[in-house]
A and B are shown apart, each in its own frame.
Chain A
Amino acid sequence: MKIALVFLGLIGMVILGLPFSISADSSLSDAVQSFMSYGLNATGVLLGILTVFLSRSVADELVQQQIFLVMTKPVARWQYILGKWLGITTLNFAFLACSGLTIYGMVHYIRATHRPETGDRWEMERRMEEEQLAGEVLVARHAIKTNLPDFLKPAQYEYERNREDGRYDDALDFDEAGEIARLSLQHEMRWRVVGPQELRVFEFENVLCDRSPDRRIQVRYKTNISRGAPPDEVYRCIWRVGDASKGTPVYQVNGRHVIGRHHTVTIPADAVAADHTLTVYFRNENPFPDEPQFQNIIEFRKSDEVAVLFVVGTFEWNLVRLSILMMCKLMFLGAVGILMVTVFSFPVACLASFTVYTLAGTRRFIVEALDFSSDDYATMFTSLKEFFLQLLMHLYNVLHWIIPDFGRFNAIDEFVGGYNVSLTWVLNGLLWLVIVKTVFVLGLAILLFHRREVAEVSF
Chain B
Amino acid sequence: MAERTMPVVETAGLCKTFRDFWRRPRVEAVKDLSLDIRPGEVFGLLGPNGSGKTTTIKMLLGLLYPTRGRISVFGKPPTDVSVKARIGFLPEESYLYRFLVAHETLDYYGRLFQLPHRARRDRAERLLDMVGLRHEAKRRVGEYSKGMARRIGLAQALINDPEFLILDEPTSGLDPIGARQIKDVIRDLGRKGKTILLSSHILADVEDVCDRVTILYGGQQRAAGDIHDLLRRTDATQIMAPTLSEETIAQVSDLIQRLEKKELLGVSNPRIKLEDFFLQIVEEAHAANIQTSGARVGGDVPEFLQKSTETTAQRVVESLVSAASRRTEVPAGSPPQAAARSDEPARGVIDDLMTHGPVDDEETSSPSPTTTASVVSSGKARDADSKVIDELLGRSGADTPQERENDA
Contacts and interface: CB of A to CB of B under 8 A. Distances in A.
B61 interface: yes
B386 interface: no
B250 interface: no
Nearest to A65: B95
A73 B84 contact: yes
A458 B26 CA distance: 9
Interface in A56-81: 64-76
User: Chain A: interface residue count, which band?
Assistant: 20 to 34
A414 B106 CA distance: 50
Interface string B106-135: 000100111000000000000000000000
A456 interface: yes
A455 interface: yes
B19 interface: yes
B333 A72 contact: no
Contacts of B82: 74
A369 interface: no
Contacts of A68: 58, 61, 63, 89, 91, 95
B295 to A, nearest CB: 40
Nearest to A73: B112
A74 B93 contact: no
A174 interface: no
B335 to A, nearest CB: 11
A459 B26 CA distance: 8
B334 A455 contact: no
B178 interface: no
A76 B82 CA distance: 10
Interface string A418-459: 000000000000000000000000000000000001111111
Contacts of B85: 74
A76 B79 CA distance: 8
Interface in B64-114: 64-65, 81-82, 84-85, 87, 89, 91, 93, 95-97, 99, 109, 112-114
A65 B18 CA distance: 18
Contacts of A171: none
A455 B84 CA distance: 16
Nearest to A64: B95
B345 interface: no
B20 interface: yes
Contact of A454 (B21, B63, B99): B63
Given A74-B333, A453-B65, A459 B21 contact: yes
B156 interface: yes
B147 interface: no
Chief secondary structure at chain A's binding surface: loop
User: Chain B: interface residue count, which band?
Assistant: 20 to 34
A458 B20 contact: yes
A81 to B, nearest CB: 14
A238 B83 CA distance: 81
B383 to A, nearest CB: 37
Contacts of A73: 84, 109, 112-113, 160
A5 interface: no
Contacts of B333: 74
A112 interface: no
Contacts of B173: none
Contacts of B63: 68, 71-72, 453-455
Given A458-B18, A459-B20, A72 B87 contact: yes
B40 interface: no
Contact of B89 (A1, A64, A72, A75): A72
B218 interface: no
A453 B89 contact: no
B105 to A, nearest CB: 10
A75 B81 contact: yes
Contacts of B190: none
25 contacts: A1-B99, A65-B91, A65-B93, A66-B96, A67-B95, A68-B61, A68-B63, A69-B91, A69-B109, A72-B62, A72-B84, A72-B87, A73-B160, A74-B84, A74-B113, A74-B114, A74-B331, A76-B81, A455-B63, A457-B27, A458-B20, A458-B21, A459-B19, A459-B20, A459-B26
The 4 tightest CB contacts between A and B, nearest first, are A455-B63, A73-B112, A74-B85, A459-B20
Given A72-B63, A73-B84, A455-B58, 14 more contacts: A64-B95, A65-B91, A68-B91, A68-B95, A69-B156, A72-B62, A74-B81, A74-B84, A454-B63, A455-B64, A458-B19, A459-B20, A459-B26, A459-B27
